[in-house]
Structure 1
Amino acid sequence: MDSADSPTKTQSSEDENYSLLCQAHEQFNNTEYDRCLELLQQLDTKGESSGPILRHNRAVVNFYKSGCTQHATLLQELEELATDVKAPQGMGETGGGLSLKQGASAATVARYNKAVIYYHRHMYGTALEKLAPLVARLEALEKAMSALVATLQLQLLLATNQLNRAEAFLDYLQYTLNLVDKAPSSNPDEVVPATATTAAATPSTVVAAQGSDAAVARAAGDTSGSLQLLQLLTHVLNRKPVVITEDGTPHYAALRAQQYYIMKDFQMAAKQLMRINNECTQAGTVTPQLSTCIANNMGVIHLRVRHYAIAAKFFQNALNFDKQLASNLRESTLQTMSSAHSCEILYNLGIAMLHLRRPKEAFQCLLVPVKQFHSNPRLWLRMAEACIMEHEANLAEDERQSLAGAASPPSSRTYAPQSAGVPEPTLEFAALCLRSALTLTLHHKASFHMDATQEETPEQTEHAHRSWRQLQDNNFCNPSKPVSLESLENMLAAIYAAHSFVSLRLGDHVTALDMAEHLLRGERLSDAHKLLGHMYAGEALMLMDKAAEARDHLDPTFVSSLDAFDLETRDWQLKSLDAAQNVVRYNLAVAMTLQNDYQQAKTFLATLTHSIVSIKALALRRYIDLKLGAAANAVSAGALS
């Protein structure tokens, strides 16, 4: 007896069982769940041979009867069913119970439903793992069931930013399985405008294993439109030229906005989103999910054009809408749970707050997504930047209060290494964040896939089947898009620079020098990072009583070779080559002073004219005058100032 098979019509009793199962299916579609359970109970009482199918369907019906909220109970029952009935290992229809007349086997549909539950719970890695055995034998599945599995697999690939694999998988579906048609390509002579939004693809739903001919086919019919939408979304995210024809629904309109954004037509992207909002408001179809999506994507657009305050406002609005969805996730439906995106929104808000120089708020925002995206090195770097910004703001405030006489001159700030593990915006925690960011980045760099952008030929061959599995995406910065090699090198340089700076502040001069030297050995190093590397290395060497070696890093001649544009476009104090030259000369004067080369140091100090070093240069000049025994000159200079 094959416990995974549905009833057949070979005998009179089996005809009756088949009829009861069809009635149960009809009652289920009519949301008459109590009646459906009664019919399933009759089948169970009659000793129907397909026990696993009845157990599975009862679990699904009870799940829908609860309002789709008892997903934990359903998941537990599906796991128990999987232990009792092994999934079919064969590739043919008989072993897998995969013909349309039989319906999908209980084990097959149960595995699919488990993947659906994990998908809605944002556990995408687990969902991919659960779905993998079905994807591996996708060609052996009945076409309706394979459409369900393919749709969910494509959703998971896009949700995890595996864009290249999604594109290759789509080719496999199109040319090998014929599940999707070719997407309409835009005219090469036509300029395609562009926008940014997440197209809300139809979420996958839990399905029941049925015995009627319309069993899985009806569920698969619901996914046909979703698969077409996912096909277009995949092409848009991979920057493929496609024509998006709107059908009056927000899904295709939002996809058009996504296309505008990717093509950097931000004005049209914003107009498209506002049009969606206005049309849905007039039609009375606005939902918290739609409002959250629109507000977040409007924030992304304004963040992209550096309207940081406006972006922060949109992100805050998106969080307010999202709270309506996430107020009680334990009692929420699966689809409501999948619509909650507070982690991603808080990530965006944290970035906006960093640009607005509000480090405390940025740190608190980033604390939430780091729990979910803890393997994202860029997120750890952003948290460290918030810590550094908060520390520097506190130092500046102490200095202002000291100059105003509101407080006594601050003594050297003490640090508490034992508090490094406490998630507070301190330099100690910044050092911990930077160690995590560096470890993750070096690991990802070692396994970086240079062929991530390789395109697959659209030929209908067995090689196309294998190629999508072999492709890899550099998607280690989720929820951000895959990282290019240039972005990886820039991120690594930023980590080294920040790590060196924090180590200098904490008095760890050896680590500061080591990080600065690694920075200077970096590939594709920008002129700004080159300047910082020499500055931090020189300062670390001076603090280690190696002033002679420090002077090698503080040669003013290398500054003149730097690109002024690279300095001017950075969000920092050194906005010109003149400012950079003055800072380097000041530090060189300090190194000369430490070597007792006072006359040469005074010569360099006399050339400093920029306000960024004027106060420090005056203090150093007084110190040198005192060392030279010219106390009178020092007092006179003090009176003049």
Structure 2
Amino acid sequence: MDFAETTRTQNEDENYSLLCKAHEQFNNNEYDRCLELLQQLESKGENSRPILRHNTAVVNYYKSGCTQHATLLQDLEELVLDVKPIPGSGSVASGTEGVTVGLSLKHGGGGSAATVARYNKAVIYYHRHMYATALEKLAPLVGRMEALEKTILALVATLQLQLLLATNQLNRAEAFLDHLQYKLNLVSSAPTIEATAAAATVGSSDPVVARVGNEGSKGTSLQLLQLLTHVLNRKPVLITEDGSPEYAALKAQQYYIMKDFQMAAKQLMRINNECTQSGTITPHLSTCIANNMGVIHLRVRHYAIAAKFFQNALNFDKQLAFNLRQRTLQTMSSAHSCEILYNLGIAMLHLRRAKEAFQCFLVPIKQYHSNPRLWLRMAEACIMQHEAKVQEEERQFLPANEHNARKKQYAPQSAAVPELTLEFAALCLRNALSLTLHYKANFHVVVLSEDSPEQKSDLDQQSWRHLQDNNFCNPSKPISIESLENMLAAIYAAHSYVSLRLEDYVTALEMAQQMLHCERLSDAHKLLAHMYAAEALMRMHKPTEARDHLDPSFVGTLNAFDLETRDWQLKSLDAAQNVVRYNLAVVMAMQKDYPKAKTLLSTLTHAVVSPKALTLRRHIDTYSAYPAPN
């Protein structure tokens, strides 16, 4: 009995020594020698050990240049299915990024292999931008973090926090950070400053800020992610730069959130200059800097400059995305074409370049098809293109029959085909409306507890998994209830307009009426709602009902600032008043109340309506010259 025990102990020591040597060869990039040592273990009857299967798969992956991730993923899937993890078992793992090689020769080591395999699967999905799948694969490990060993615990916690930030789950990330700090004692508290950071206003077209530095790199530590989480949640923190681009970029992002756009731009340019001089500039770093410079210029309404930066960012990103299937996982995670095209499309809309904007949105819509804001932007590009065609036809004074022929040229085209047509705009707006109403019904409102701060803090730490973020507009950050209502009003307005142009007057009236019932409705949208409702009723030969929406007195109560700050033709109360009066004159003419219509038309002097008012006056004079039939 004693002899058997001694022999088993000596064999385990020899096996563990071989594993340690294999690990050393792996760290020295000697993958062939590492595989030889693992094969020696197999020849000694250790081939049934799941840890050997795992390590062999990982070494073969690195030997291939870290490009055969599909094969590695398949091996890991088979390993997890074959091995039932043992609750509470841990593993000793090496490395802090990418795919990890586990080293363990404990009894019950199968549980350790399954733990590391699950982590590696989540890493692969993270680098492939499949964040929801990565969260799902990592969930079993996150659910039992208290039972994991310190090394693998740090890896799991870091990846989980990265995934929460990548999916814009900022509230959950903050609560998860507290859980790591107070329950697991894994991170230290970040230094705070007394001054409170100013909150940045979230617009209806929220650009995407890319973070400098590869989030899967060794430079990404829990401490850096802790600071990033606090910054994104607008918590006052003191960021001390250590000379790395990651901390310098975090400082730039803090300036941006505090609306100090000039300092944010200076910080980014300093990073670019220092890295260029030191020779450490990379395509990924250049991509992030160019994109973020574009976002800054977009916020200060320098749209042409912003578009130029976004185009530069795309050029840098192409160097990363070229032949992506043959690139490493880290290179895959560094490619951000979808996010950059999302930003470029917004800039092109502001520049009234509808075709370019539409083409930009076609790429991100494939990945972010549940984003109602993106569907709205595509519809706006279609509307903008339609308005440009109408204006061009009016300038060329096309005959009525030719104008109608051009108007119907899209009729045979299916509405499901992505084209710059009003039919496709209607489809986009239906998608946007359905998604927004669904998200509004499930909108999470934070209810402040009346419990003591200690009880509330303890409750928050216990229930971090149950927290919700209104992050349904990915890749842009979570949306507020005010932005949600503004977006809903914009969707109703666009839907009503498109329905009018497609001669669907019932839908146009319904959308205008729904817009009037929106909460927090801006004065500009209130004006549009009444105008569209009136036009729909006039087209439906209901002038009396249309007249109720065209009371000129309500325009005088509108907020002039709300009109002047919008990118549309009506930039003053005077222009809005003239438009309402003109439409009211049209209704009066339809009711054959010619004297009142002519009196109203004589007061219209604004350039927006004066040509049309003159034409209407001529028609009224023509019709009023003939007696009405008995």
Q: How many angstroms apart in 1 are the aligned matches of 2:357 and 2:523?
A: 28
**What are the residue-to-residue correspondences of 1:448-597 with 2, within 5 Å?**
448-451=443-446, 463-597=459-593
Instruction: State which of 591, 596, 602 in structure 1 corresponds to 2:598.
Output: 602
Paired residue for 1:85?
83
Q: How many angstroms apart in 1 are the aligned matches of 2:502 and 2:413?
A: 13
Paired residue for 2:204?
none
Instruction: State which of 28, 37, 42 in structure 1 corresponds to 2:35.
Output: 37
Paired residue for 1:436?
431
Paired residue for 1:179?
186
Paired residue for 1:242?
237
1:154 is the counterpart of 2:165: no
Cα deviation for residue 184 of structure 1 reads 1.0
Paired residue for 2:205?
none
1:401 is the counterpart of 2:396: yes
Structure 1 residues 192 and 374: CA distance shift in structure 2, 3 A: closer
1:140 is the counterpart of 2:147: yes
How large is the RMSD of aligned CA atoms in angstroms? 2.6
**What are the residue-to-residue correspondences of 1:161-172 with 2, within 5 Å?**
161-172=168-179
**What are the residue-to-residue correspondences of 1:3-152 with 2, within 5 Å?**
11-48=9-46, 51-88=49-86, 90-91=87-88, 102=106, 105-152=112-159
Q: How many angstroms apart in 1 are the aligned matches of 2:449 and 2:359?
A: 39
Paired residue for 1:362?
357
After superposition, give the CA deviation of every residue in 1:109-161 in whole Å (9 maximum; x if it has no partner).
10000000000000000000000010010111111111100000000000000
The answer to whether the 8 Å contact 1:192/1:241 transfers is no
Q: How many angstroms apart in 2 are the aligned matches of 1:173 and 1:556?
A: 61
1:284 is the counterpart of 2:279: yes
The answer to whether the 8 Å contact 2:199/2:234 transfers is no
The answer to whether the 8 Å contact 2:303/2:351 transfers is yes
The answer to whether the 8 Å contact 1:586/1:605 transfers is yes
**What are the residue-to-residue correspondences of 1:402-421 with 2, within 5 Å?**
402=397, 410-411=403-404, 413-414=407-408, 415-416=410-411, 418-421=413-416
Secondary structure of 1:477 counterpart? coil
Cα deviation for residue 600 of structure 1 reads 1.5
Paired residue for 2:618?
622
Q: How many angstroms apart in 2 are the aligned matches of 1:459 and 1:625?
A: 78
Structure 1 residues 301 and 29: CA distance shift in structure 2, 3 A: same
Cα deviation for residue 466 of structure 1 reads 2.5
Aligned amino acid, residue 28 of structure 1: F
Secondary structure of 2:571 counterpart? coil
Secondary structure of 1:31 counterpart? coil
Q: Identify the range of structure 1 (328-337 vs 50-59) with the bigger mean alpha-carbon deviation.
A: 50-59
Structure 1 residues 203 and 34: CA distance shift in structure 2, 3 A: farther
Say how many residue pairs are matched.
600
After superposition, give the CA deviation of every residue in 1:384-434 in whole Å (9 maximum; x if it has no partner).
00000001001101111117x9x9862362241642111011111100000
After superposition, give the CA deviation of every residue in 1:428-484 in whole Å (9 maximum; x if it has no partner).
110000000000000000000001899996889863442211110000000001000
Instruction: State which of 213, 228, 237 in structure 2 corresponds to 1:233.
Output: 228
Structure 1 residues 65 and 398: CA distance shift in structure 2, 3 A: same
Cα deviation for residue 9 of structure 1 reads 10
Q: How many angstroms apart in 1 are the aligned matches of 2:512 and 2:456?
A: 52
The answer to whether the 8 Å contact 1:385/1:430 transfers is yes
Paired residue for 1:636?
none
The answer to whether the 8 Å contact 2:213/2:246 transfers is yes
After superposition, give the CA deviation of every residue in 1:512-563 in whole Å (9 maximum; x if it has no partner).
0000000000000000000000000000000001111000001111111111
Secondary structure of 1:357 counterpart? coil
TM-score in terms of structure 2 length? 0.91
Aligned amino acid, residue 18 of structure 2: L
After superposition, give the CA deviation of every residue in 1:263-307 in whole Å (9 maximum; x if it has no partner).
000000000000000000110011000000100000000001000
The answer to whether the 8 Å contact 1:162/1:472 transfers is yes
The answer to whether the 8 Å contact 2:61/2:72 transfers is yes
* Structure 2 gap ranges (5+): 1-5, 92-101, 201-207
After superposition, give the CA deviation of every residue in 1:468-517 in whole Å (9 maximum; x if it has no partner).
11110000000001000000000000000000000000000000000000
Paired residue for 1:304?
299
Aligned amino acid, residue 584 of structure 1: V
TM-score in terms of structure 1 length? 0.89
After superposition, give the CA deviation of every residue in 1:250-269 in whole Å (9 maximum; x if it has no partner).
01000000000000000000
Structure 1 residues 460 and 395: CA distance shift in structure 2, 3 A: closer
- Percent sequence identity is 75
Paired residue for 2:322?
327
Secondary structure of 1:240 counterpart? coil
The answer to whether the 8 Å contact 2:47/2:53 transfers is no
Q: How many angstroms apart in 1 are the aligned matches of 2:342 and 2:316?
A: 16
Secondary structure of 2:288 counterpart? helix
The answer to whether the 8 Å contact 2:61/2:69 transfers is yes
